A = this chain, B = another copy of it.
Amino acid sequence: MTVDASAFLNNVNIDAVGGLVGAIQADPVKAQTTWAAHVTWKGAFASEASIRTFAPVPSDEPAALGGADGAPNPVEQLLAALGNCLAVGYAANATIAGIQLNDLRVDLKGDIDLHVFLGLAEGHAGFESITATVTIDADASPEQLEQLHAKVLASSPVGHTVRNAVPLEVVLA
Protein backbone atom coordinates (compact mmCIF):
# COMPACT_ATOMS: atom_id res chain seq x y z
CA MET A 1 0.00 0.00 0.00
CA THR A 2 1.36 3.42 -0.95
CA VAL A 3 0.40 6.77 0.42
CA ASP A 4 -0.46 9.35 -2.22
CA ALA A 5 0.80 12.68 -0.93
CA SER A 6 -1.73 14.52 -3.12
CA ALA A 7 -4.51 13.05 -1.00
CA PHE A 8 -3.44 15.38 1.78
CA LEU A 9 -2.54 18.53 -0.14
CA ASN A 10 -4.41 21.46 1.43
CA ASN A 11 -5.91 18.88 3.79
CA VAL A 12 -8.41 18.15 1.05
CA ASN A 13 -9.79 14.62 0.83
CA ILE A 14 -9.39 14.55 -2.92
CA ASP A 15 -10.15 10.81 -2.98
CA ALA A 16 -13.68 11.53 -1.78
CA VAL A 17 -14.16 14.03 -4.60
CA GLY A 18 -12.62 11.55 -7.06
CA GLY A 19 -14.99 8.86 -5.82
CA LEU A 20 -17.99 11.09 -6.42
CA VAL A 21 -16.70 12.02 -9.88
CA GLY A 22 -16.33 8.33 -10.74
CA ALA A 23 -19.78 7.51 -9.42
CA ILE A 24 -21.32 10.31 -11.50
CA GLN A 25 -19.42 9.28 -14.62
CA ALA A 26 -20.82 5.76 -14.16
CA ASP A 27 -24.33 7.02 -13.37
CA PRO A 28 -24.95 10.66 -14.35
CA VAL A 29 -28.21 10.85 -12.40
CA LYS A 30 -26.08 10.85 -9.22
CA ALA A 31 -25.13 14.45 -10.07
CA GLN A 32 -28.72 15.54 -9.40
CA THR A 33 -28.74 16.86 -5.85
CA THR A 34 -31.40 18.59 -3.80
CA TRP A 35 -30.53 20.94 -0.93
CA ALA A 36 -32.82 22.28 1.76
CA ALA A 37 -33.16 24.77 4.61
CA HIS A 38 -36.02 25.41 7.03
CA VAL A 39 -36.60 28.88 8.42
CA THR A 40 -38.65 29.68 11.51
CA TRP A 41 -39.75 33.22 12.37
CA LYS A 42 -38.81 34.21 15.95
CA GLY A 43 -40.77 37.48 16.24
CA ALA A 44 -39.92 40.97 14.99
CA PHE A 45 -37.25 40.65 12.26
CA ALA A 46 -35.49 37.69 13.88
CA SER A 47 -35.55 34.19 12.42
CA GLU A 48 -33.39 31.13 12.34
CA ALA A 49 -32.51 28.60 9.66
CA SER A 50 -32.22 24.88 10.35
CA ILE A 51 -30.05 22.84 8.00
CA ARG A 52 -29.83 19.08 8.44
CA THR A 53 -28.79 18.38 12.05
CA PHE A 54 -26.69 21.52 12.55
CA ALA A 55 -27.50 24.11 15.20
CA PRO A 56 -29.97 26.72 13.86
CA VAL A 57 -28.34 29.77 12.27
CA PRO A 58 -29.79 33.04 13.61
CA SER A 59 -30.75 36.03 11.47
CA ASP A 60 -31.76 39.57 12.37
CA GLU A 61 -31.71 43.10 10.99
CA PRO A 62 -29.68 46.11 12.15
CA ALA A 63 -31.47 48.65 14.36
CA ALA A 64 -31.69 51.15 11.50
CA LEU A 65 -33.79 48.59 9.59
CA GLY A 66 -36.03 47.91 12.59
CA GLY A 67 -34.28 44.83 13.97
CA ALA A 68 -32.62 44.02 17.26
CA ASP A 69 -29.25 43.50 15.53
CA GLY A 70 -28.81 40.06 17.06
CA ALA A 71 -27.19 38.40 14.05
CA PRO A 72 -26.02 39.01 10.47
CA ASN A 73 -28.89 39.93 8.19
CA PRO A 74 -29.99 37.94 5.13
CA VAL A 75 -28.09 39.96 2.53
CA GLU A 76 -24.90 39.63 4.57
CA GLN A 77 -25.59 35.89 4.81
CA LEU A 78 -25.82 35.73 1.03
CA LEU A 79 -22.40 37.39 0.72
CA ALA A 80 -21.03 34.91 3.28
CA ALA A 81 -22.45 31.97 1.31
CA LEU A 82 -20.83 33.31 -1.85
CA GLY A 83 -17.45 33.78 -0.18
CA ASN A 84 -17.57 30.32 1.39
CA CYS A 85 -18.46 28.83 -2.01
CA LEU A 86 -15.54 30.58 -3.68
CA ALA A 87 -13.22 29.35 -0.90
CA VAL A 88 -14.26 25.73 -1.54
CA GLY A 89 -13.75 26.29 -5.25
CA TYR A 90 -10.20 27.57 -4.80
CA ALA A 91 -9.34 24.80 -2.34
CA ALA A 92 -10.71 22.07 -4.62
CA ASN A 93 -9.24 23.34 -7.87
CA ALA A 94 -5.88 24.22 -6.30
CA THR A 95 -5.64 20.69 -4.93
CA ILE A 96 -6.51 19.14 -8.30
CA ALA A 97 -3.81 21.35 -9.89
CA GLY A 98 -1.25 20.35 -7.24
CA ILE A 99 -1.05 23.86 -5.81
CA GLN A 100 -0.35 24.24 -2.10
CA LEU A 101 -2.48 27.02 -0.58
CA ASN A 102 -0.89 28.77 2.37
CA ASP A 103 -3.62 31.29 2.96
CA LEU A 104 -6.86 32.33 1.28
CA ARG A 105 -9.20 35.20 2.04
CA VAL A 106 -12.28 36.45 0.22
CA ASP A 107 -13.56 39.95 1.00
CA LEU A 108 -17.04 40.61 -0.35
CA LYS A 109 -19.14 43.70 -0.67
CA GLY A 110 -22.31 44.57 -2.47
CA ASP A 111 -24.62 47.54 -2.91
CA ILE A 112 -28.36 47.62 -2.35
CA ASP A 113 -30.72 50.55 -2.93
CA LEU A 114 -33.32 50.20 -0.15
CA HIS A 115 -36.10 52.03 -2.02
CA VAL A 116 -37.73 48.82 -3.28
CA PHE A 117 -37.28 46.87 -0.03
CA LEU A 118 -38.97 49.70 1.87
CA GLY A 119 -41.86 49.96 -0.59
CA LEU A 120 -40.80 53.40 -1.85
CA ALA A 121 -40.30 52.24 -5.43
CA GLU A 122 -40.87 49.24 -7.67
CA GLY A 123 -38.11 47.33 -9.41
CA HIS A 124 -35.02 45.43 -8.34
CA ALA A 125 -34.73 45.03 -4.57
CA GLY A 126 -31.58 42.91 -4.69
CA PHE A 127 -27.88 43.56 -4.93
CA GLU A 128 -27.05 45.94 -7.76
CA SER A 129 -23.61 44.41 -7.94
CA ILE A 130 -21.28 42.31 -5.83
CA THR A 131 -17.50 42.38 -5.73
CA ALA A 132 -15.37 39.62 -4.22
CA THR A 133 -11.67 40.29 -3.75
CA VAL A 134 -9.64 37.11 -3.39
CA THR A 135 -6.27 37.20 -1.65
CA ILE A 136 -4.21 34.04 -2.16
CA ASP A 137 -0.86 33.05 -0.72
CA ALA A 138 0.12 29.93 -2.63
CA ASP A 139 3.12 28.11 -4.04
CA ALA A 140 2.16 28.93 -7.61
CA SER A 141 3.03 31.27 -10.47
CA PRO A 142 0.76 34.18 -11.42
CA GLU A 143 -0.24 32.19 -14.53
CA GLN A 144 -1.22 29.17 -12.42
CA LEU A 145 -3.26 31.42 -10.13
CA GLU A 146 -5.05 32.97 -13.11
CA GLN A 147 -5.92 29.49 -14.41
CA LEU A 148 -7.14 28.51 -10.95
CA HIS A 149 -9.21 31.70 -10.76
CA ALA A 150 -10.82 30.98 -14.15
CA LYS A 151 -11.73 27.43 -13.11
CA VAL A 152 -13.33 28.63 -9.88
CA LEU A 153 -15.40 31.26 -11.67
CA ALA A 154 -16.56 28.68 -14.21
CA SER A 155 -17.78 26.25 -11.55
CA SER A 156 -19.06 28.12 -8.47
CA PRO A 157 -22.63 27.06 -7.55
CA VAL A 158 -23.37 30.18 -5.48
CA GLY A 159 -21.50 32.42 -7.92
CA HIS A 160 -23.59 31.16 -10.81
CA THR A 161 -26.81 31.41 -8.77
CA VAL A 162 -26.06 35.11 -8.20
CA ARG A 163 -24.81 35.85 -11.71
CA ASN A 164 -27.70 34.16 -13.49
CA ALA A 165 -31.47 34.49 -13.26
CA VAL A 166 -32.58 31.43 -11.29
CA PRO A 167 -36.26 30.44 -11.34
CA LEU A 168 -37.64 31.02 -7.86
CA GLU A 169 -41.10 29.90 -6.86
CA VAL A 170 -42.44 31.12 -3.54
CA VAL A 171 -45.77 29.52 -2.66
CA LEU A 172 -48.17 29.97 0.23
CA ALA A 173 -48.87 26.55 1.72
Among B64, B73, B82, B116, point to the contact of A155 (Cβ < 8 A). B116
Nearest chain B residue, comparing its CB with the CB of A74:
B85
Interface 0/1 of A45-83, CB less than 8 Å to B: 101110110100101010111110001111111111111
Interface residue ranges of A118-137 to B (CB < 8 Å): 118-120, 122, 124-136
Q: List chain B residues, Cβ under 8 A from A24.
A: 114-115, 118, 120
Nearest-Cβ distance from residue A37 to partner chain B, whole angstroms: 4
**Copies per complex of this chain:** 2
Chain B residues near A87: list those with CB within 8 A: 39-41, 47, 59
Any B CB within 8 A of the CB of A111? yes
Say yes or no: A134 contacts B35, CB within 8 Å. Answer: no
Spell out A's residues near B (CB within 8 Å): 10-14, 16-17, 20-21, 24-25, 28, 31-41, 43-45, 47-49, 51-52, 54, 57, 59, 61, 63-67, 71-88, 90-93, 96, 101, 103-120, 122, 124-136, 145-146, 149, 151-173
Q: A34-B111, A107-B38, A155-B116 are in contact. Are A161 and B45 (CB under 8 A)?
A: no
Distance between Cα atoms of A101 and B96 in the complex (Å):
50
Q: Are A108 and B173 in contact (CB under 8 A)?
A: no
A sample of 19 more A-B contacts (CB under 8 A), given A49-B80, A93-B119, is A12-B45, A13-B67, A16-B65, A16-B66, A36-B108, A41-B87, A49-B81, A49-B83, A49-B84, A73-B84, A77-B80, A78-B82, A78-B161, A117-B156, A130-B168, A131-B170, A132-B170, A133-B173, A134-B173
Establish whether residues B81 and A129, one from each chain, have CB atoms under 8 Å apart when the complex forms.
no
